[in-house]
Amino acid sequence: MTSTAFDPAALAASDAATPALALTIAGSEATGGAGAQADLKTFQELGVFGIANLTCIVSFDPQDNWNHRFVPIDQQVIADQLEATTAAYGAASGAPSVLDTVKIGMLGSPATISTVATALAAAAFTNVVLDPVLICKGQESGHALDTDQALKAQILPLATFVTPNHFEAESLSGLEITDLASLKAAAVRIHELSGAAVLAKGGVRLAGPAAVDVYYDGETLEVLSAPKVGEVAVSGAGCSLAAAITAELAKGATPLEAARTAKSFVTAGIRNRVASGAPFDALWQGGPR
């Protein structure tokens, strides 16, 4: 098992005059805990120039058990954002620092999945980190099923790194996950299905004193472990973990190094979480400082 301490000196060294670039294609989560806001804060903390192209706007509903109110962005507006970003920083842009790393967060509808899949296929990014956000609290279940199937068919094959949580790992692998052995089996299965490096997250969902994640890339299987901070999931942990992997890949880390750094970044962010009037705390990306 590996448990890596976060190293602020390494972070400072990475914050070069011409920063690496990373794009997140994600939803806005109005309270700032999750989604594109969490991704941009993570990119900035890790010394990467962050770009966000929005797919939807989520506003929790305090009158309805904090369920998600979900509004998709118009498909043409999503395509316009991707066009602007690739023209400014893509391989053919002539930019001194080329955008070759993207994170995919909440897409939320089959239409958005098609729009994003088309843009991804055209842009040929080196690193495509997929946080396979499969279910949105309060979303109608028939709609969610369509979205899950489209994500698996159109986006998963384009991913080079995928970061499923417990629920998403069960859904993608078709396996029941009850312990470390079954989490490992799911990580292996998801790699076989996608060809991507996988970080399958046990989080607070597996019993025991540690928050355990399994990394598998077809060759190396490594268990990343950190002491649990409470037993309740913190908002933005999944987004920030995938965003930290994205930032590290953009700076040239290997997938395994990126996973290790991201795990310690998120552990520090959870230790320093921010409380609010909502029934969940939010991860603080400044925690490692």
Asked if 151 is part of the footprint of ligand PXL (rule: CB under 6 A), the reply reads: no
Q: How far apart are CA 109 and CA 267, in angstroms?
A: 31
Asked if 35 is part of the footprint of ligand PXL (rule: CB under 6 A), the reply reads: yes
Three-state SS for 207?
coil
The residue range among 10-18, 22-30, 169-177, 222-230 that interacts with ligand PXL, by the rule CB under 6 A, is: 22-30
Asked if 241 is part of the footprint of ligand PXL (rule: CB under 6 A), the reply reads: no
The residue range among 23-31, 88-96, 202-210, 254-262 that interacts with ligand PXL, by the rule CB under 6 A, is: 23-31
Asked if 51 is part of the footprint of ligand PXL (rule: CB under 6 A), the reply reads: no
Q: How far apart are CA 138 and CA 14, in angstroms?
A: 40
The residue range among 21-29, 93-101, 194-202, 276-284 that interacts with ligand PXL, by the rule CB under 6 A, is: 21-29
63 by Cβ neighbours in 10 Å (0-12 / 13-18 / 19+) ranks as exposed
CB proximity list for 145: less than 8 A, separation 6 or greater: none
Three-state SS for 270?
helix
Residue among 217 and 281 whose Cβ is closer to ligand PXL: 281
Among 19, 47, 105, 202, binds ligand PXL (CB under 6 A): 105
Q: How far apart are CA 194 and CA 88, in angstroms?
A: 30
Three-state SS for 209?
coil
Applying CB under 6 A, the site for ligand PXL has a residue count of 11
Asked if 238 is part of the footprint of ligand PXL (rule: CB under 6 A), the reply reads: yes
Nearest by Cα to 131 from 201, 178, 179, 72: 201
Least distance CB 228 / ligand PXL (angstroms): 19
Residue among 41 and 251 whose Cβ is closer to ligand PXL: 41
Amino acid type, 206: L
109-148 residues near ligand PXL, rule: CB under 6 A: 133
Least distance CB 58 / ligand PXL (angstroms): 4
And the tokens for 27?
């939803």
Q: How far apart are CA 284 and CA 271, in angstroms?
A: 8
* Token pair 């190293």 in the structure block, residue: 7
Asked if 269 is part of the footprint of ligand PXL (rule: CB under 6 A), the reply reads: no
Interface positions with ligand PXL (CB under 6 A): 26-27, 29, 34-35, 58, 105-106, 133, 238-239
